[in-house]
A and B are shown apart, each in its own frame.
Chain A
Amino acid sequence: MGALTRAEALVGAVPPVRRRMTAAALSFGILAVAACALAPLVGSTPIDVRRAWDPSIAFSDNVDAQIFFVARLPRVLSAALVGSSLAAAGVVFQALLRNPLATPFTLGVSAGAALGAMLAITLGVTFAIGPLGTVPLASFVGSLAAVCIVYLLATARHRGFSTNVMLLAGVTLNAFFSALILFLQYFADATQTMRTVRWLMGDLDVASYGPILAALPLIAIAIVTFAWLARALNLLVLGPEQAEARGIDVLRAQRIAFVSASLATGAAVSVGGPIGFVGIVVPHLVRLLVGSDHRVLLPSASLFGGTFLIACDLVSRTVMAPLELPVGIVTAVIGGPFFLWLLISRGAGGSGQ
C-alpha cells in the first residue's frame, strides 16, 4: 500500500518531477561530460596533449595524437556507451521482472553472447560486416539467439507474456549456455580457452571508432525507447493488474521493454564483453540518490553508468601498467563490496518496488 501511494504521488506530481529530471540530468550530465573530457588526458604513458591536438603535425607521424585519438578516446567513448547501456538496461530489467536482483545478464543475453564469441574463437572462422570483426558479430548474434529463445518461451504457453516463465527460462538458458561453453572449452586448445576467458573479463580497448559506431544506432534506439517507457515502467513495478487498471497496455510495454533492453545489452556486450556489476550497482546507487521514478532514474542511471565505467576503465588501463587489469575485474572489485555495503546499510533490496 505504501508503495502505491508513493507511486501515485510520483505519477501525479508533474511539475516537481520535471524539475527533478532537469536537476538530475544536469548534474549527472555534467559529471559524464567531465569524465569524457578528462579521462583521455590520463593514461599509462605521459603524452603532450597540445602536440596531440596540433594540426600542423601530420597525424601519421604524431605519436601523441595517435595515443590520444586511437588508443584513449575510443576507449573512453566505448566505456561511456557500454556503461550507460548496461546501467539503463539494468534499471529496465529490474522494473520488468520486478526483482531488484535482475541484471542485464539475468535473462541469458551474456551467456548467449559468450557462446557466440566462444564459437567464433574455437572454430577459427573469420567474417566481418563493415567495421565489425568476427568476435563482436558472433557475440551479438549469440545474444540475439538467447533473447529470441527466452522471448518465445515466455510467450509460448500463455496467451500473455509471463515474466515468471521469462525469468526461469533466462536463468536456465544461462546455465545451459554456460555448460555448452565448458563443453567447447574442453575441446579447445589452451590459447583459445585463454582468449575466451579473457573475453569474459571485458575489454574496452577497441582501438578504433568502428565498433562504437556500429553499436551506437541500436543503443540510441533502445535509450529513446526507455525514455518513452519510463511512465509505463513506473506502473509495471506495481504489478500487471495495477498497471492495467491505469490504462497501460501491459503486454505491449513488457515486450517492448524486454526487446529494447536486450538489444542494448547485446550491443554493449559486443563492444566490451560481458562487464558485470555496472547493470546492478549503478541502478541501485542512483535509485538511492534520485528515487525510483523511472523518468528521473533512467536518464540518471544511464549517465552515471557511463561515468562509472569510464572511471573503472581508467583504473583498468593505468593501475598495473604496462599490464592491463581487465575492466570486469575492476567493476567487480569496486562494485561487489560496495553493493554488499549498500545492501546492509540502506536496505537496497526493498527499493525499486
Chain B
Amino acid sequence: MAADLARGGRIGTVRDRVAIVAAIVAVIVAASIAAAAPPAKRIVSLVPAVTEMLFAVGAGPQVVGVSSFDREPPEVARLPRVGALLDPDLESILALKPDLVVVYGSQDELKTQLERAGAPMFSYRHAGLQGIFETLRQVGDHTGRVEAANALIDRIRADLASIRKAVAGQPRPRVLLVFGRDVDALRNVWVSGGVGFIHEVLEIAGGDNVMADVTREGLQINVEQILARKPDVILELRADARADAEREALQTWRTLSALNAVRNRRVYFLSGSELVTPGPRIARAAERIARVLQPR
C-alpha cells in the first residue's frame, strides 16, 4: 500500500497522507471553532466539573442553568436546574434559550435533540489531568475569557509543580485510593485504577497507586487483592462524609491487620468535592493528599 502510493504520486508515504489529512481536519476544526466564536452569553452546563471551570475563568455571570448535581461554587445555588447525566430535561434547557449547552460525551440522545433544536453544544468527557487543562482552554475560547483561562491554567500548573517539588525525595508510600464501600464492612470496595485525574493527583502528591497497573478509572476490588497489594496507606476519598467516618474507617479496616496501612494506623478519610471533581480545585486536592501522605 505504502509502496503503491510512493510510486503513484507526489504524496509519498501513508504517514505523509495522514499528516495532510490531519492538517486539513485541524484547519476545519479551528475554522469552525473560530466561526462559532462570539462568546457564549447564555450557558447551560450539565457537567458539574465544567460549571466550576466556567465560574473559575470568570464566566459565572454567563451561566443560566446547571445540572441537578451542581453544588460548586456556592453561586450555583440560585440557578435553575435542568436535570443531569441520565435525565436531562430538554424542555427546560431550551426554555433558557442557551447559546451554549455543555453536555457529557455520552449523552448521545440529548446531543441529537439539541442539534435538531439548533442549540450550540460543547461536548465534554473526563480525560485525566491533561484533560482538565485542555477543557479549561476550550472553556476560555467559548466564553471569550482566553486570558483568564490561560492564567488559571498556569496557576494550577505552578501549584501542582510546587507540591511535586515539596514531596520530591520523600519516601513514596504505596496507596490504596478508596472511592466507596459498604458502611461497617469491607464489601463493595471501589478503588481508583491507574487512569484518571485523581490517580495522577496522587502521583503528584507523593504516593504510588497500588492499582496503577489496572487501566481503568475505577474498579471493584476484593479482599484478597487488597491484602496482596500491600498498601502502606489506605486513603478513603468521598464527596461528603458522615459524622464519624474517620473512626468508622479505622475500625472497619482493622480486620486486615497484616497490612502496613492498618498496623501503622495510616487509614485516612478525606471528604470534599474537590477530591472527586476534575475541575479547577485539583491543586487543593493534591495539597490535602500530600499533607496526609507526608505528615511533616
Q: Which residues of A contact B (CB under 8 A)?
A: 43-45, 59-63, 65-67, 70-72, 126, 128, 133-135, 186, 189-191, 195, 198-199, 203, 205-208, 317, 321-324
Q: Which residues of B contact A (CB under 8 A)?
A: 69, 85-87, 180, 182-188, 211, 213-214, 216, 219-225, 227-230, 242, 255-259, 263
Distance of A299 from chain B, by nearest CB (Å): 31
CB-CB under 8 A from A59, the residues of chain B are: 257
B223 and A60 form a contact (CB under 8 A): no
User: Helix, strand, loop or mixed for chain B's interface?
Assistant: loop
Q: Considering the chains assembled together, what is the distance between the CA atoms of A133 and B85 in angstroms?
A: 31
With A195-B180, A203-B188, A322-B219 known as contacts, the answer to whether A66 contacts B85 (CB < 8 A) is no
CB-CB under 8 A from A323, the residues of chain B are: 214, 216, 219-220
The 4 closest A-B pairs by CB, nearest first: A71-B224, A45-B228, A60-B257, A71-B223
Q: Considering the chains assembled together, what is the distance between the CA atoms of A72 and B216 in angstroms?
A: 25
A63 and B221 form a contact (CB under 8 A): no
Distance of A101 from chain B, by nearest CB (Å): 31
A190 and B85 form a contact (CB under 8 A): yes
Q: Compute the total of residue contacts between A and B using a CB distance below 8 Å.
A: 94
A205 in complex: contacting residue of B87, B222, B256, CB < 8 Å: B222
B222 in complex: contacting residue of A189, A191, A324, CB < 8 Å: A324
Distance of A247 from chain B, by nearest CB (Å): 48
Of the candidates B185, B186, B259, the one having the most CB atoms from chain A within 10 angstroms of its own CB is: B185
A66 and B187 form a contact (CB under 8 A): no
What are 28 sample pairs from A and B whose C-beta atoms fall under 8 A apart? Answer: A44-B225, A44-B228, A45-B225, A60-B257, A60-B258, A65-B258, A66-B258, A70-B223, A70-B256, A71-B223, A71-B224, A126-B242, A133-B182, A134-B183, A189-B69, A191-B180, A195-B180, A203-B188, A205-B187, A205-B222, A206-B187, A207-B255, A208-B186, A317-B222, A317-B224, A322-B221, A324-B220, A324-B222
B256 and A66 form a contact (CB under 8 A): yes
With A60-B257, A61-B258, A66-B256 known as contacts, the answer to whether A322 contacts B188 (CB < 8 A) is no
CB-CB under 8 A from B259, the residues of chain A are: 63
Distance of A102 from chain B, by nearest CB (Å): 30
B227 in complex: contacting residue of A67, A133, A199, CB < 8 Å: A67
CB-CB under 8 A from B186, the residues of chain A are: 207-208
B227 and A70 form a contact (CB under 8 A): yes
* Cβ-closest chain A residue relative to B219: A323
* Cβ-closest chain B residue relative to A45: B228
A63 and B183 form a contact (CB under 8 A): no
B263 in complex: contacting residue of A45, A60, A135, A205, CB < 8 Å: A60
Give me 16 other A-B pairs in contact (C-beta within 8 A), A45-B224, A71-B227, A198-B188 excluded.
A44-B222, A63-B227, A66-B256, A66-B257, A71-B222, A72-B224, A126-B183, A133-B185, A189-B69, A191-B180, A198-B220, A205-B187, A207-B223, A321-B225, A323-B219, A324-B222
Q: Considering the chains assembled together, what is the distance between the CA atoms of A206 and B222 in angstroms?
A: 9
CB-CB under 8 A from B223, the residues of chain A are: 70-71, 205, 207
CB-CB under 8 A from B227, the residues of chain A are: 45, 63, 66-67, 70-71
B188 and A195 form a contact (CB under 8 A): yes
Q: Considering the chains assembled together, what is the distance between the CA atoms of A39 and B257 in angstroms?
A: 24
Distance of B218 from chain A, by nearest CB (Å): 9
